[in-house]
Amino acid sequence: MSRIEIQKTYKIFIGGQFPRTESGRYYPLKNKKNEVIANMCLSSRKDFRNAVVAARSAFGGWSEKSAFNRSQILYRIAEMLEGRKEQFVSELLLQGVSAANAKEEVTMSIDRLVYYAGWCDKYQALFSSVNPVASSHFNFSVPEPTGVVAIVSSEESSLLGLVTSIAPVIAGGNTCVVLASESKPLCAITFSEVLNTSDLSAGVVNILTGNSAELHSHFSSHMDVNSLLYYRKNKNEIKTIKENAALNVKRVHIYDKIILNSDKSQSPYFIFDNQEIKTTWHPVENIGSSKGGY
Amino acid sequence: MSKKKEITKAKLDFKTDWAYAPAPEDSGHISLKKQYDLFINGEFVKPNSKKYFATYNPATEQKIAEIAEADEKDVDKAVKAARKAFEKWSKLSGKERGKYIFRIARLMQERAREFAVIETMDGGKSIRESRDIDVPLAANHFFYNAGWADKLEYAFPNRNPKPLGVVGQIIPWNFPLLMAAWKIAPALAAGNTVVLKPAETTSLTALKLAELIRDSGLPNGVVNIVTGAGKTGAAIVNHPDINKIAFTGSTDVGKLIQRSISGTNKKLTLELGGKAANIIFADAAIDQAVEGIVNGIFFNQGHVCCAGSRLFVQESVADIVIRKLKDRMETLIVGDPMDKNTDIGAINSKEQLLKINEYIKIGKNEGAEIYQSSCAIPSKGNFCRPTLFLDASQSHRIVQEEIFGPVLTVQTFRTIEEVIEKANNIPYGLSAGVWTDKGSKIFNLTNKLRAGVVWANTYNKFDPASPFGGYKESGFGREGGLHGLMPYLNL
């Protein structure tokens, strides 16, 4: 007698847990033969709001972790992904990606995580400055994470798009809520399992599945989101997002022209996009007759 | 008993013993025209509407000059001039571009006193501040950025920076010339051309700057200055051939601009409002902290987006800090901005004075205890006494909203956690001040305060080499320093 396979229930990822959408809604994901592969959560506005709460409460702890520690955790994510390569490849195949492309997508995702793991404790040196002000003050500027970042990730890619959008955001000490590809959502949830076993604190990354047409206006109008990244090409959604962003002066970055499988889509400047520059001044005591020199 | 009490309250009475003789700055040497036109393509041209509006001295309520009102057609003309100039300007070598900007800096230094006098006449700030801060800093911004023009490839590793094109810049009335310099200097260094609109109550120094730019030989159309109010600003924001908007002003208008350009690819930087916490710990040098509080809120009549308008004093020293602060406030001289002894000049406009007075009324109604210095203020002109609100609480409107005047709210705190929470619990995040003798505490605070500029044991310091700009609803993008070039470049 052949064994009956255990099928996976795909849920969403909020605050380090895997709940179903609070709305109870779903959408069927079909393969090329029009067979249902999975019932995905059709996330709601309320799911998004819950995820923002989780991301906000995770922000303090994550942003204050040492950069070196963040670096190790990102590397750990890569390790976990490496160990589960086959699972991701087979999920990509299931979603209609060719065998060669699936393998490339997974290895590239792992390498991209390692790339950003290395940046965690280096971009600060690149984007900081000591500013030689004319008065008797010591003055320096450093980057700090912007806060909670909402991400509408690429529709075309199941895994690489997700990694490309998340890695620079969390490498920079931000927390995020990500909308996965609607038509290729499987890897997003499996990737959540990877994140959940990589010492990444709960709530640093939250992943929803669902529909951008429904959710993009909520992503952009939420008053506790500091920054919004959009990786799709829908002009109307871009306009609405930019319009809503004005409600609380969100930073908006539209990456509609990004080519995921190119090295140009990874750089410390993607980290910088979600950084604020903070400048600190302090007086330098300048009394008495002591002079420098020998 | 009673004698002892008197001693603890003893203080210098400046009104009786230390009367200052008037020390007015001479204004005979400045040159002002009766009427100013728009500066487009290197020359002054009449506005399409033929309309002019008056600009007044807020200290005397006297009319100084008439300023042209630019409409959409004028703005279009300015943008076309800037677009045409961009072709050559962006191709000019950085070395040569820099030389023009150095020239502007030098010319401004030569004519510094004239600019200072006009700035004070038109805007109401004390001559001491315009002479010692606004004008020298404005010149320094040109000088600093000039040097970047041929070094941009060193600023951003692994990038090949390119200018954006035509930038539209809209600036406020609190630091008219300085804001023009903050905006124009990095834009030019990066190879862009400019259409700038000063605030309608303070156009004069921008127009004097236009004369200076013309004298500098800068190619026609590289800088265009159009005057007018909100409508003129909207024409700039909505012009289809502008590549970037840089705005400094209120958060409300900033949001409006962000929304207006949502359907376009225009880049944007916003320098918006603030409501900075100025935090005094028990171990601070109290006398210096009191000076810092005064400088934080009463500098430039409190018309400062980064003003330290929320004072937090640790409970154990609250009594002494507040007593010393009140004493120090008594010594502040409010009055003729042209007098070199004046500390607090005129409120920039009738409108702004009304707004400040409205907030003072709100503060009283909310139940905070008001204290105002007893100084005399001139009967004519727009003036406001330095004002404290004691026992203010976090939910008060005077604590949450930007007043933009010489009004300080005072709250006390016990623990460091409490003050961080209160300081950050506001939509703004432009600046903050920390006063303590302990270095580790400073670094703890500077890490945790969500604000773009943190002044530790000092306040309201500015420098062209130092990036300035906000977190959260105080805007995005930086001005000044290496980081200030970034918003004017495609990387």
Give the global pTM. 0.95
User: DSSP alpha helices (H): ranges in B147-229?
Assistant: 152-155, 176-189, 204-216
Looking at the domain assignment, is residue B412 inside a domain?
Answer: yes
Q: Are residues B219 and B318 in the same domain?
A: no
Looking at the domain assignment, is residue A9 inside a domain?
Answer: no
Distance from CA of A282 to the nearest CA of B (A): 5
Inter-axis angle of helices A235-245 and A212-221, nearest 10: 20
Question: A285 falls in which pLDDT band (50, 70, 90)?
Answer: confident
Distance (Å, whole) CA A238 – CA A240: 6
Inter-chain residue contact B466 with A239, CB threshold 8 Å:
no
Residue A156: closest CA among A167, A148, A164, A147? A164
How does strand A275-283 pair with strand B35-36?
unpaired
Inter-chain residue contact A279 with B456, CB threshold 8 Å:
no
Distance from CA of B475 to the nearest CA of A (A): 6
The DSSP-derived string for B230-296 is HHHHHHHHT-TT--EEEEES-HHHHHHHHHHTTTS--EEEEE-----EEEE-TTS-HHHHHHHHHHH
Chain-centroid distance, C-alpha B264 = 29
Looking at the domain assignment, is residue A170 inside a domain?
Answer: yes
Looking at the domain assignment, is residue B319 inside a domain?
Answer: yes
Q: Which of A233, A243, A249 best tests the B interface by mutation, with the highest count of B CBs <10 A? A: A249
Looking at the domain assignment, is residue B19 inside a domain?
Answer: no
Looking at the domain assignment, is residue A183 inside a domain?
Answer: yes
Distance (Å, whole) CA B385 – CA B335: 10
Inter-chain residue contact A242 with B261, CB threshold 8 Å:
yes
Q: Are residues B184 and B171 in the same domain?
A: yes
Q: Domain total for chain B?
A: 2
What does the angle CA B208 – CA B214 – CA B218 come to, to the nearest 5 degrees? Answer: 130
The DSSP-derived string for B75-105 is HHHHHHHHHHHHHHHHHS-HHHHHHHHHHHH
Q: Which of B452, B456, B467 sits opposite A282 (nearest CB)?
A: B456
Higher pLDDT, A292 or B315: B315
For A72-198, list the strands marked E by DSSP.
129-130, 137-145, 148-152, 175-179
Q: Which of A126, A243, A281 sits opposite B458 (nearest CB)?
A: A281
For tokens 């490496």, what's the residue?
A: A82
Instruction: Tell me if B308 sits within 8 A of B276, measured CB to CB.
Output: yes
- Contacting B with CB below 8 Å, chain A residues are 64, 126-127, 129, 131-135, 137, 139, 141, 146, 226, 239-243, 245-249, 251, 267, 269, 276-283
Instruction: Render each residue's pLDDT in chain B as its tens digit; 491 residues.
Output: 444 444 455 566 665 656 788 999 998 999 999 999 999 999 999 999 999 999 999 999 999 999 999 999 999 999 999 999 999 999 999 999 999 999 999 999 999 999 999 999 999 999 999 999 999 999 999 999 999 999 999 999 999 999 999 999 999 999 999 999 999 999 999 999 999 999 999 999 999 999 999 999 999 999 999 999 999 999 999 999 999 999 999 999 999 999 999 999 999 999 999 999 999 999 999 999 999 999 999 999 999 999 999 999 999 999 999 999 999 999 999 999 999 999 999 999 999 999 999 999 999 999 999 999 999 899 999 999 999 999 999 999 999 999 999 999 999 999 999 999 999 999 999 999 999 999 999 999 999 999 999 999 999 999 999 999 999 999 999 999 999 999 999 99
Looking at the domain assignment, is residue B26 inside a domain?
Answer: no
Q: Which structural domain, as residue segments, surrounds residue A277?
A: 26-283
Which residues, listed in sequence order, are joined to residue B198 by a DSSP beta bridge?
A: none
> pLDDT tens for residues A6-35?
989 999 999 999 999 999 999 999 998 999
Q: Which of residues 107-146 of B touch A (CB under 8 A)?
A: 140
Q: Are residues B486 and B401 in the same domain?
A: no
Instruction: Tell me if A217 sits within 8 A of A247, measured CB to CB.
Output: no
Which chain B residues are closer than 8 Å to A248 by Cβ?
427, 472-473
Inter-chain residue contact A246 with B471, CB threshold 8 Å:
no
Q: Which of B140, B157, B258 sits opposite A246 (nearest CB)?
A: B258
Looking at the domain assignment, is residue B135 inside a domain?
Answer: yes
Looking at the domain assignment, is residue A236 inside a domain?
Answer: yes
DSSP class of residue B302?
A: G
Distance (Å, whole) CA B178 – CA B206: 9
Looking at the domain assignment, is residue A69 inside a domain?
Answer: yes
Chain B residue nearest residue A227, CA to CA: B472
Q: What is the CATH number of the domain that holds B406?
A: 3.40.309.10
Which chain A residues are closer than 8 Å to B140 by Cβ?
134
Instruction: Kindly state the tokens that stand for B24.
Output: 């007015």
Interface A–B counts its CB contacts (< 8 A) at 109
Inter-chain residue contact B463 with A135, CB threshold 8 Å:
yes
Q: Residue A86: which residues within 8 A CB-CB, separation 6 or more?
A: none
Looking at the domain assignment, is residue B28 inside a domain?
Answer: no
Q: Are residues B268 and B336 in the same domain?
A: no
Q: Are residues B363 and B240 in the same domain?
A: no
Which chain A residues are closer than 8 Å to B288 by Cβ?
none
Q: What is the CATH number of the domain that holds B246?
A: 3.40.605.10
Q: Are residues B281 and B268 in the same domain?
A: no
Q: Domain total for chain A?
A: 1
Residue A94 has pLDDT above 60, yes or no: yes
Q: Are residues B122 and B226 in the same domain?
A: yes
* C-alpha distances out from residue A120 to A72, A172, A206, B126, B466, Å: 9, 6, 20, 47, 25
> pLDDT tens for residues A104-149?
999 999 999 999 999 999 999 999 999 999 999 999 999 999 999 9
- Region for A143 from its dihedrals, namely left if φ exceeds 0, alpha if ψ lies in -120 to 50, beta otherwise: beta
> pLDDT tens for residues A175-188?
999 999 999 999 99
Q: In the predicted model, what is the mean pLDDT of chain A?
A: 96
Chain B residue nearest residue A141, CA to CA: B467
The HSE-up count of residue B392 (CA atoms within 13 Å, CB side) is 29
In this prediction the ipTM stands at: 0.94
Q: Are residues B40 and B184 in the same domain?
A: yes
Q: Which residues of B are catalytic?
A: 271, 305
What was the pLDDT predicted at B208?
A: 98
Residue A202: closest CA among A21, A46, A11, A53? A53
Residue A161 has pLDDT above 90, yes or no: yes
Instruction: Kindly state the tokens that stand for B277.
Output: 């916490």
Looking at the domain assignment, is residue A20 inside a domain?
Answer: no
Residue A289 has pLDDT above 90, yes or no: no
Which residues, listed in sequence order, are joined to residue B433 by a DSSP beta bridge?
A: B278, B455
Inter-chain residue contact A246 with B263, CB threshold 8 Å:
no
Inform me whether the C-beta atom of residue B441 falls under 8 Å from chain A C-beta atoms.
no
Instruction: Kindly state the tokens that stand for A214.
Output: 């429904």
Q: Residue B306: which residues within 8 A CB-CB, separation 6 or more?
A: B274, B276, B430, B431, B453, B460, B468
Q: Are residues B202 and B122 in the same domain?
A: yes
Higher pLDDT, B19 or A220: A220
Type of residue at A157: S
Inform me whether the C-beta atom of residue B29 falls under 8 Å from chain A C-beta atoms.
no
Q: Residue A161: which residues within 8 A CB-CB, separation 6 or more?
A: A153, A154, A155, A181, A231, A260
What was the pLDDT predicted at B241?
A: 98
Q: Are residues B390 and B484 in the same domain?
A: no
> pLDDT tens for residues B329-387?
999 999 999 999 999 999 999 999 999 999 999 999 999 999 999 998 999 999 999 99
Inter-chain residue contact A277 with B453, CB threshold 8 Å:
no
Chain B residue nearest residue A126, CA to CA: B157
Distance from CA of A139 to the nearest CA of B (A): 7
Q: What is the CATH number of the domain that holds A46?
A: 3.40.605.10
Residue A199 has pLDDT above 90, yes or no: yes
Q: Are residues B133 and B250 in the same domain?
A: yes
Distance from CA of A145 to the nearest CA of B (A): 10
What Rg do the C-alpha atoms of chain B give, in angstroms? Answer: 23
Looking at the domain assignment, is residue A291 inside a domain?
Answer: no
What was the pLDDT predicted at B2?
A: 47
Looking at the domain assignment, is residue B78 inside a domain?
Answer: yes
Distance (Å, whole) CA B47 – CA B405: 34
Q: Which of B251, B453, B491 sits opposite A279 (nearest CB)?
A: B453
Output the CA torsion sign for B315, B317, B320, B321: negative
Q: Which structural domain, as residue segments, surrounds residue B197?
A: 35-272+473-490
Question: A204 falls in which pLDDT band (50, 70, 90)?
Answer: very high
Which chain B residues are closer than 8 Å to A251 by Cβ?
476
Q: Are residues B253 and B327 in the same domain?
A: no
What was the pLDDT predicted at A32?
A: 87
Question: A68 falls in which pLDDT band (50, 70, 90)?
Answer: very high
Looking at the domain assignment, is residue B13 inside a domain?
Answer: no
